[in-house]
Amino acid sequence: MNFKIVTPEREVFADEITQVTMMTTMGEITVLQHHIPLVANLVPGEIKYKKGTEELSIAVSGGFAEVRPDGSVVVLADTAEHAHEIDLARAEAARDKAAKLMESAREKDDVNYAAMAAQMEKALARVRVGNKYRKLK
């Protein structure tokens, strides 16, 4: 099936694959050929896809996924990075910064806590995918 991931900045991936697994607000879904059409909200996390026997990962910070009637899958992501593109040190620093901001916001009853929690989820997704890629090398 044809699979494409697009962000506002670039087309991250476009190719034929055999399956894709992603986290949605309804839970994890795996799409195979002949899947029913659907549209789903993505949560920050890992998108895993198989191309032949190879399983690859992309970290996304949220967005939408559409399974079209022709069987193709299109992901419109806020941000997306291939596992090999992730600067792990930078991702860990972003995670640590978000954790400190969240702690400070919790103590002050800051209304920006939800935004900081979203930053934390994005950073955690990048760290998870980056660590997974490093272990496979």
The residue from 39, 58, 83 where one domain ends is 83
- CATH number of the domain that residue 73 is part of: 2.60.15.10
* CB-based contact 112:87 (threshold 8 Å): no
Domain containing residue 115: 87-136
**67 and 52 housed in the same domain:** yes
Q: How far apart are CA 109 and CA 23, in angstroms?
A: 30
Q: How many CB atoms lie within 10 A of CB 91?
A: 22
- Tens digit of each residue's pLDDT (9 = 90 or more) over 92-131: 787 788 777 777 776 666 567 667 777 777 777 777 777 7
Token pair 């195979």 is found at 32
Q: How far apart are CA 126 and CA 97, in angstroms?
A: 14
**111 and 131 housed in the same domain:** yes
Instruction: Specify the number of domains making up the chain.
Output: 2
**33 and 71 housed in the same domain:** yes
- Tens digit of each residue's pLDDT (9 = 90 or more) over 43-93: 998 999 999 888 899 999 899 999 999 989 999 999 899 888 877 778 778
**Tokens describing residue 132:** 């997974």
Instruction: Identify the pLDDT of residue 113.
Output: 67
**Tokens describing residue 74:** 């299109």
